[in-house]
Amino acid sequence: MPLYADVIIDISTEKLDRPFSYRVPEELKESVHEGAEVKVPFGAGNRERKGYVVGFSEKPAVDESRIKDILSVDESSVSAEAKLLSLASWMHRRYGSTMINSLQTVLPVKKKIKEKSFKNYCRNKGEAEIRAEIASLNPVRFAGRIRMLNALLIADVIPGDIAVSKFSLSPSVAQTLEKQGFIKVETTRQYRNPVAADFSLSSLRSIDLTDEQKLVVKGVKEELGKTDRRPCLIQGVTGSGKTEVYMELIRDVVSKGKQAIVLIPEIALTFQTLMRFYAVFGDRVSVIHSKLSPGERYDQYERALNGNIDIMIGPRSALFTPFKNTGLIVIDEEHETSYKSEKMPKYHAREVAEYIAAREGAGLVMGSATPSVESSYKARQGIYAYFKLENRFGNAVLPTVHIVDMRKELKSGNKSFLSRELSNAISERLIKGEQTMLFINRRGVAGFISCRSCGYVMKCPHCDVSMTEHADGRVVCHYCGHTIRKPEICPECGSRYISGFKAGTEAVEAGLKKMYPSARVIRMDADTTKEKDGHEKLLSLFADGKADIMVGTQMIVKGHDFPNVTLVGAIAADISLFSSDYHSPERTFDLLTQAAGRAGRGDRAGEVFIQTYDPEHYALKAAADQDYERFYKEEIIYRKLGDYPPLMHVLLLEFYSKDKQAGELRAGLMAERAKGREGIAVLGPAPAAISRIRDIYRTGLYFKSADIDKLTEIKDQAEALQAQFMEARSGPDVTLQFDFDPVENF
Ligand code: ADP
Ligand code: ZN
Ligand code: ZN
């Protein structure tokens, strides 16, 4: 029987959507595999072209007589593209998505390079003079000028767009600095480069590592030098010098002629972070992030392909940098959920990095102050090598953390969202001219049901997860579908104050304005940061002291240093704690630990208030004491009891349909097919936490197993079944997505 291969001729994405069908000649059957580089005749005149195999079929897609043969297979090919293609093919099989989706994830869009001209601000005076000027300026009135002068101390030339976007340089400040002779303005043409590769540095920075840091570097190098090297996990509090350790390891790899990929959560991808890498590695560094245009992205891909750079920094998609010889992959803040893709293929950067590192013989180094429970578990099992940095560099002071029992507040008649303790602390800061950050968890929107009088939280009798209030007055468990009517009074204490919790950032902002009419309040959430750079604009307003209080979702607590912030408040720490998701305690712990790290980063000690209806919860108490060990010990017990990762793997099948019943039916059928298999538990089907979005109904079906391969079999079976349905085209459309070890609530 002849075999047909789907071949993509050109991997510029415009043509990705259309693979062409070729016959696989008998003699090539053994050597043609998915991702293989092949030669095929193409177009008028049958010119020989390079192509990549992306799939197979037994039937030709077009009339048999029009199909041509594959000419040859390039088995020796280890080109960067071929490696990416085979990576796409692995992701396609591992995570269950179409090959096209996987290719689009892995390959960038090709676009023409346009020339651009730019203003450059060049340093025109000596370092001493600049320092003297900075010292003489009033830091509040001339914040803008000082920012720019400080930048000039690091780089001799600052491209105009960066001066404006990152240092908020205004025309008047530029004029003043030019008039005073601190800068010269030049207009030049610039090759598209997302950050400051054109920064000409006076000299590359080098530092002496502390003894503790040296020890970790030595240990990691030893591990990575072994043939059976393991991924390395570095646990170190914020400010312990993890980044310095990464840079030392990268220096070592680069000196051996290899390249490094550094993953950073998008939110931490600040100019400061990049500047640190530039200061050490100069313009051998590049960056990709979501705000780059497709053209800029493509340029970075080309620069890596051409060997113009050694280091790529970026969010999870930086994994797909086409380096010739990747020697090291670093994942900073490895516990961050943004490392999991929410689009098909729903891959986790950690897993893909492990795969790439193993294939390329590269090292994998992960770091965090609060490692994910998954990674900590692997470290304890010896699957990861484990290292620790216990001391902060310099002598940063830890803040004092208070847990506030909001049930007591209610009992004493305070129905506001602010406890008296926290509101007193805010008043104090306003008087002293210090700043406050208040945050609320975005994940709370779904609204668990709790009693504000006794703290009771309504849980599913079958699943031990909290139930969610729906607009129609029902309360539903999103794991098994158990449904009841919303109670009028608390079943525990009889109080009327039982309801879905719904304190949003807007409500808090409004409340603050009423309570402190003269305070300047900034709100930062998805709504106020929609525009490009919206995020950074608000942050720099706050940094410049143009506001007293910043209210926001969890995005405000990540990775920003404001020396004048001496108070941090978590308005409702429970909201994330009781969302119907087993990750909740971990998220809460991470968030509160990070938030606590935000208070008092200057020389003044900070204060943190955690408001809660459940002050005894282990995640809160451990966060208040900044005690990771204690948190982990409690958490792993809870995961064991609930059969959750890392002890078990979870596969979620997501069914989407305009027809409610069609989705449920298909899910039911697949549940039925999978039943009775050994070592696999089936949960559901049940409506998703958000059961309908834009008139599409969402149904979830969960499988649990300690063995990931068993879940992969389930996925394959479901895929095959789904293909049959697609072919038959009977009944309403139902689409299916797969999510292994999901990190977000579905
Ligand atoms: P982390 O990544 O763990 O949060 P960083 O690497 O950012 O820690 O270090 C915190 C601060 O301390 C940075 O400004 C860094 O430059 C500085 N620092 C850390 N270690 C050293 C060192 N050995 N010498 C000089 N500065 C250091
Ligand atoms: Zn109650
Ligand atoms: Zn349930």
Residues 330 and 437 in one domain: no
The answer to whether the CB of 213 is under 6 A from ligand 1 is yes
* Within a domain: 474: no
The answer to whether the CB of 272 is under 6 A from ligand 1 is no
- pLDDT for 115 beyond 50: no
Range 369-388 average pLDDT: 97
The answer to whether the CB of 235 is under 6 A from ligand 1 is no
Q: What is the whole-number distance in angstroms between the Cα of residue 245 and the centre of ligand 1?
A: 9
**Looking at 219-233, 424-438, 593-607, which range is the least confident one?**
593-607
**Which residues pair with residue 461 across a beta bridge?**
none
* Within a domain: 202: no
Q: What is the whole-number distance in angstroms between the Cα of residue 59 and the centre of ligand 1?
A: 60
Query: Comparing 217 with 289, which gets the higher pLDDT?
Result: 217
Neighbours of ion ligand 2 (CB under 5 A): 451, 453-454, 456, 490, 492-493, 495
Which two structure tokens, joined as six digits, stand for 646?
């890392």
The answer to whether the CB of 601 is under 6 A from ligand 1 is no
Which two structure tokens, joined as six digits, stand for 485?
């009517």
HEC assignment per residue over 428-496? HHHHHCCEEEEECCHHHHHCEEEECCCCCECECCCCCCECEECCCCEEECCCCCCEEECCCCCCCCCCC
Nearest CA to ligand 1 atom 9: 241
Residues 382 and 280 in one domain: yes
Q: Of ligand 1's atoms, which has the minimum distance to the CA of residue 394?
A: 12
Residues 268 and 300 in one domain: yes
User: In this structure, what CATH number is given to the domain that contains residue 12?
Assistant: 3.40.1440.60
Closest CA to 387 of 580, 195, 222, 631: 222
Residues 304 and 179 in one domain: no
Nearest CA to ligand 1 atom 22: 209
Range 658-679 average pLDDT: 91
The neighbour count for residue 189, using CB atoms within 10 Å, is 8
- pLDDT for 314 beyond 90: yes
Nearest CA to ligand 1 atom 20: 241
The answer to whether the CB of 332 is under 6 A from ligand 1 is no
Q: Distance (Å, rounded) from C-alpha 95 to C-alpha 350? A: 14
The answer to whether the CB of 241 is under 6 A from ligand 1 is yes
Rg (CA), the chain: 28
Q: What is the whole-number distance in angstroms between the Cα of residue 392 and the centre of ligand 1?
A: 8
Mean of the per-residue pLDDT values of the chain: 85
Angle at 269 between CA 266 and CA 274, to 5 degrees: 155
Nearest CA to ligand 1 atom 14: 239
Q: What is the largest CA-CA distance in the chain?
A: 87
Closest CA to 166 of 178, 177, 176, 154: 154
**Domain final position from 140, 156, 189:** 189
- The confidence score (pLDDT) of residue 736 equals 94
Q: Of ligand 1's atoms, which has the minimum distance to the CA of residue 240?
A: 3
Q: What is the whole-number distance in angstroms between the Cα of residue 620 and the centre of ligand 1?
A: 28
Range 109-115 average pLDDT: 51
- The confidence score (pLDDT) of residue 535 equals 76
Q: Which residue has the tokens 């093919």?
A: 89
Count of domains for the chain: 5
The answer to whether the CB of 540 is under 6 A from ligand 1 is no
Residues 406 and 555 in one domain: yes
* Within a domain: 596: yes
The answer to whether the CB of 240 is under 6 A from ligand 1 is yes
- pLDDT for 606 beyond 80: yes
Q: Which residue has the tokens 């940061």?
A: 529
- The confidence score (pLDDT) of residue 117 equals 56
Q: State percent of the chain over pLDDT 70.
A: 88
Closest CA to 80 of 108, 100, 47: 108
- pLDDT for 613 beyond 60: yes
- 532-565 burial by CB neighbour count: b if 16+ within 10 A, else e? eeebbbbbbbbbebebbbbbbbbbbbbbbebebb
**Looking at 214-218, 292-296, 608-612, 677-681, which range is the least confident one?**
292-296
The answer to whether the CB of 559 is under 6 A from ligand 1 is no
User: In this structure, what CATH number is given to the domain that contains residue 351?
Assistant: 3.40.50.300
Range 106-132 average pLDDT: 74
- pLDDT for 1 beyond 70: no
For residues 611 and 422, the answer to whether their CB atoms sit within 8 Å is yes
Which two structure tokens, joined as six digits, stand for 275?
């500047």
| Nearest ligand, CA 459 | 3
* Choice from 393, 395, 561, 601 to test ligand 1 binding pocket (greatest atom count within 8 A of CB): 393
**Which residues pair with residue 653 across a beta bridge?**
701, 738
Q: State percent of the chain over pLDDT 90.
A: 40
For residues 522 and 549, the answer to whether their CB atoms sit within 8 Å is yes
- pLDDT for 446 beyond 70: no
User: In this structure, what CATH number is given to the domain that contains residue 685?
Assistant: 3.30.70.600
The number of C-alpha atoms within 13 Å of 336 and in the hemisphere containing its C-beta is 25
- pLDDT for 111 beyond 50: no
Q: Which residue has the tokens 């309403």?
A: 732
- Would you give the DSSP letter of residue 262? E
**Amino acid residing at 326:** T
- Would you give the DSSP letter of residue 647? T
Q: Distance (Å, rounded) from C-alpha 656 to C-alpha 504? A: 29
Q: What is the whole-number distance in angstroms between the Cα of residue 690 and the centre of ligand 3?
A: 15
- pLDDT for 523 beyond 60: yes
Closest CA to 708 of 334, 356, 351, 344: 351
The answer to whether the CB of 108 is under 6 A from ligand 1 is no
Q: Distance (Å, rounded) from C-alpha 148 to C-alpha 170? A: 10
* Within a domain: 204: no
For residues 194 and 296, the answer to whether their CB atoms sit within 8 Å is yes
* Structural domain boundaries, residue 366: 211-389
- The confidence score (pLDDT) of residue 113 equals 47
Residues 539 and 596 in one domain: yes
Q: What is the whole-number distance in angstroms between the Cα of residue 628 and the centre of ligand 1?
A: 21
Nearest CA to ligand 1 atom 23: 209
Which two structure tokens, joined as six digits, stand for 8?
């993509």
For the whole model, what pTM was predicted? Answer: 0.77
* Within a domain: 203: no
- The confidence score (pLDDT) of residue 663 equals 94
- The confidence score (pLDDT) of residue 112 equals 46
* Within a domain: 352: yes
CA distances 627 to 206, 237, 606, Å, are: 33, 11, 18
Q: What is the whole-number distance in angstroms between the Cα of residue 697 and the centre of ligand 2?
A: 34
- pLDDT for 268 beyond 80: no
Range 262-269 average pLDDT: 83
- The confidence score (pLDDT) of residue 189 equals 46
Q: Of ligand 1's atoms, which has the minimum distance to the CA of residue 276?
A: 16
Q: Which residue has the tokens 């720019």?
A: 148
Most confident stretch, 83-87, 470-474, 692-696: 83-87
Q: What is the whole-number distance in angstroms between the Cα of residue 394 and the centre of ligand 1?
A: 9
Closest CA to 450 of 407, 500, 400: 500
Residues 18 and 145 in one domain: no
Residues 46 and 20 in one domain: yes
Most confident stretch, 118-122, 144-148, 395-399: 144-148
**Amino acid residing at 569:** G
The neighbour count for residue 253, using CB atoms within 10 Å, is 22
The answer to whether the CB of 243 is under 6 A from ligand 1 is yes
The answer to whether the CB of 236 is under 6 A from ligand 1 is yes
Residues 62 and 149 in one domain: no
Residues 658 and 615 in one domain: no
Which residue pairs, CB below 8 angstroms and at least 24 apart, start in 729-732? 731/659, 731/662, 732/657, 732/658, 732/659, 732/662
Q: Of ligand 1's atoms, which has the minimum distance to the CA of residue 244?
A: 6
**Looking at 147-151, 361-365, 587-591, 595-599, which range is the least confident one?**
595-599
Query: Comparing 184 with 357, which gets the higher pLDDT?
Result: 357
**Domain final position from 638, 668, 700:** 638
Q: What is the whole-number distance in angstroms between the Cα of residue 139 and the centre of ligand 1?
A: 25
Q: What is the whole-number distance in angstroms between the Cα of residue 470 and the centre of ligand 2?
A: 20
The answer to whether the CB of 561 is under 6 A from ligand 1 is no
Residues 145 and 100 in one domain: no
pLDDT tens digits for 44-62?
A: 788 888 888 877 888 777 7
The neighbour count for residue 250, using CB atoms within 10 Å, is 25
| Nearest ligand, CA 279 | 1
* Within a domain: 660: yes
Query: Comparing 416 with 322, which gets the higher pLDDT?
Result: 322
- The confidence score (pLDDT) of residue 116 equals 53
Closest CA to 443 of 605, 553, 543, 318: 553
* Within a domain: 354: yes
Most confident stretch, 181-190, 348-357, 394-403: 348-357
Q: Of ligand 1's atoms, which has the minimum distance to the CA of residue 207?
A: 24
pLDDT tens digits for 555-582?
A: 777 656 787 888 999 887 765 555 567 8
Give the rounded distance of the alpha carbon of 15 from its chain centre.
29
Which two structure tokens, joined as six digits, stand for 388?
């620790």
The neighbour count for residue 521, using CB atoms within 10 Å, is 18
Q: What is the whole-number distance in angstroms between the Cα of residue 424 and the centre of ligand 2?
A: 28
19 prior amide bond cis, ω within 30: no
**Domain final position from 106, 134, 158:** 106
The answer to whether the CB of 594 is under 6 A from ligand 1 is no
CA distances 168 to 174, 287, 530, Å, are: 11, 21, 18
Q: Of ligand 1's atoms, which has the minimum distance to the CA of residue 369?
A: 3
The answer to whether the CB of 207 is under 6 A from ligand 1 is yes
Indicate the pLDDT class of residue 443, thresholds 50, 70 and 90.
very low
Q: Distance (Å, rounded) from C-alpha 449 to C-alpha 455? A: 10
**Looking at 439-448, 585-594, 634-643, which range is the least confident one?**
439-448
Q: Of ligand 1's atoms, which has the minimum distance to the CA of residue 389?
A: 3
CA distances 630 to 105, 370, 477, 591, Å, are: 39, 12, 29, 16
Q: Of ligand 1's atoms, which has the minimum distance to the CA of residue 245?
A: 6
- Would you give the DSSP letter of residue 706? S
> What residues contact residue 617 under an 8 Å CB cut-off, 6+ apart?
574, 577, 585
Residues 252 and 318 in one domain: yes
